[in-house]
Amino acid sequence: MKPAAFDYHAPDSAEETVALLAELGEEAKVIAGGQSLVPMLALRLASFGHLIDLRRVEALRGIEPRDTSVRIGATTTQAAIQRSEELRRLTPLLARATPLIGHFQIRNRGTLGGSLAHADAAAEYPAVALTLDAELEALSVRGRRTIPAGRFFTGTWTTALAEDELLTGAVFPVWWPPCGFAVEEFARRSGDFALAGATVAVGLDAAGRIDRCAIALFGLGPAPRRARTAEAELIGTEPDLDKADGIGSLAVADLDSIPSDLHGSAAYRRRVGAAMVARAWRRAVREAVHG
């Protein structure tokens, strides 16, 4: 099939983009890499009167290390993130999640901002942003604002962005050693969306006890979510690999709205999710303790 007819716009700046969004209203849709939007348009699962292409907006691309964080422009490609030595050093969880996204052809065109704004519940980048407490930057004709990742993902393919807002970038805090990170997911085939996945970040204090802990789950509900109960239980404790299975079970214990479909029942996904948390926990703890 072919997309329904639309008017094409190619602005040169973010300001011009948000002016178009304000003018055109709900009939307008921003396109970056198009790896999610183009198939939906081609199948006519979605249609818009106007498409606003961001490829000419240079200011939305780039990786900028700061004192305690890294800012990444919204249209920075996933392939650029995967190639970045700075990101492997400063935000290892983001770097490790990137190769799990689709195939290299998708990562060559897909963008950080596209993945975050699309907000697929089984996608890796939303879970990473949630784990690391990223700050997401939005622009509209009314001005700029920053949205914490914990308030950004609101449901199935929905975010806190207003219709006239443009996601311009994301700021990821840097965790300093001793700390460890891991991402684990289960998919039917390499490149498929995960049936269930988990991201874990662990930080240790001078005494070797856990003073920072973040566990995020994806593919297990309408949006990624933090396992706050499990995190709270772990703060102040010794990092213990033998607790991994129990941590996994606790992380998924209070989940509701787990999807059930031809790929797996809700009960099956819950068990897989617990196993992914346990695997990620072991890897993150080993890295935090041994470096």
What CATH superfamily classification does 179-290 receive?
A: CO dehydrogenase flavoprotein, C-terminal domain (3.30.390.50)
Output the average pLDDT for the chain: 95
| 3-class SS string, 13-63 | CHHHHHHHHHHHHHHEEEECCCCCHHHHHHCCCCCCCEEEECCCCHHHCCE
Considering only the top CATH level, what class is 7-51?
Answer: alpha beta
Measured CA distances, 126 to 15, 131, 137, 153 (Å): 25, 9, 14, 8
Backbone angles phi, psi at 143, to 5 degrees: 130, -165
pLDDT digits (tens, 9 = 90+) for 68-80: 999 999 999 999 9
List the beta bridge partners of residue 145: 138
0.85 surpassed by pTM:
yes
pLDDT higher than 70, residue 1:
no
What topology does CATH give the domain 60-173? 3.30.465
Tokens for 124? Answer: 């890796």
Going by C-alpha positions, the residue among 263, 251, 102, 276 that lies closest to residue 190 is 102
Each domain of the chain, given as residue ranges in start order, spans 7-51, 60-173, 179-290
Residue range 141-190, pLDDT digits in tens = 999 999 999 999 999 999 999 999 999 999 999 999 999 999 999 998 88
Distances (CA, A) of 251 to 10, 120, 210, 246, 257: 44, 20, 17, 9, 15
Residue 195: closest CA among 100, 259, 127: 259
Share of the chain above pLDDT 90, in %: 90
- Edge-first strand order for the sheet with 63-65 is 63-65, 69-73, 166-173, 135-140, 143-148
- C-alpha torsion angle, residues 229, 232, 238, 244 (rounded to 10): 20
What tokens does 104 get? 């290299």
CA 65/CA 194 separation, integer angstroms: 30
* Contact of 185 with 121, CB cutoff 8 Å: no
